[in-house]
Amino acid sequence: MIVEVERVSKEFVRGEQRVRAVDDVSLSVGQGEFVTMVGPSGCGKSTLLHLLGGFLEASSGTMRVAGNVVSRPGPDRGMMFQDLALFPWRTVSGNVGWALEVQGRPARERDEIAERYLQLVGLRSFKNAYPHELSGGMKQRVALARLLAFDPAVLLMDEPFGSLDAQTRELMQEELQRIWSETRKTVLFVTHDIDEAVYLGDRVIVFTARPGRIKADIQVDLPRPRPIEVKKSTAFFDHRNHVWDLLRDEVLRARAEESA
């Protein structure tokens, strides 16, 4: 098991209020598994990702990645942020090679690696462009290339395709699936989109409404490789409906809490 989460809880304190985002969550992920996490808004799934990334400290419990206790951010757990966090003052190539830069790798090596990964995501001809010149989908691909370029053991992805239009999103899902089959990284992927979760994942983890606990851990036994047409199959449908049924109660519960 490369990722081990043991009884992790996270509580946020804002003045007088205490909010329990994550409640006693335990989870194990094996090498090369693609795990997707779904849940209603505010259920703590993104928080769990940030905890694993080392950006937040758990209130209780432990987390281990490749045997090491998680305590601070580091390149072994590469994160793709919701807002992508591309550096607007660097070119595409500069962004992709950034991690290698701070690690002190020589310029020629960096450029080579950056080009390789830009080629992988199909953006090699844009290596000298700046982020603000790119469309949403292109920025996504740059962020993905940047993430892969420093070869993290685990990929943490926080609703990466959330801000894309439906068409681009489908293309990106297929692309990600293709890239993953080539690299076989361990991935933890947070999303709102159930179709996406089932399409991409080997396992789908369903979270409850806040405070977030694991409600279900579902194996997706759809064959790999998975071209996008898989989404039309009955098997896909069954999995998807199964997840939705589990999720529906939680979504309604979260909604009720909001209007309480």
Q: Which of 41, 62, 135, 233 binds another protein (CB under 8 A)?
A: 135
Task: Tell whether residue 107 is a contact of another protein (CB under 8 A).
Answer: no
Q: Is residue 93 classed as helix, strand or coil in its secondary structure?
A: helix
CA distance linking residue 49 with residue 53, whole number of Å: 6
| Contact in structure between 138 and 123 (CB atoms under 8 Å) | yes
| Contact in structure between 118 and 94 (CB atoms under 8 Å) | no
CA distance linking residue 191 with residue 41, whole number of Å: 10
CB nearer another protein, residue 77 or residue 226: 77
CB nearer another protein, residue 2 or residue 84: 84
Task: Tell whether residue 99 is a contact of another protein (CB under 8 A).
Answer: yes
Task: Tell whether residue 53 is a contact of another protein (CB under 8 A).
Answer: yes
- The least distance separating another protein from the CB of residue 146, rounded to whole angstroms, comes to 8
Task: State the amino acid at position 50 in one-letter form.
Answer: H
Task: Tell whether residue 59 is a contact of another protein (CB under 8 A).
Answer: no
Q: Which stretch binds another protein (CB under 8 A): 26-34, 128-136, 214-222, 249-257?
A: 128-136
CA distance linking residue 18 with residue 59, whole number of Å: 12
CB nearer another protein, residue 85 or residue 235: 85
Half-sphere exposure of 98 (CA within 13 A, CB side): 19
Which tokens hold the place of 84? 């992508």
Q: Which of 103, 119, 128, 181 binds another protein (CB under 8 A)?
A: 103
Residues engaged in binding another protein (CB under 8 A) = 53-55, 72-75, 77-79, 81-85, 87-89, 98-99, 102-103, 126, 129-138, 146, 150
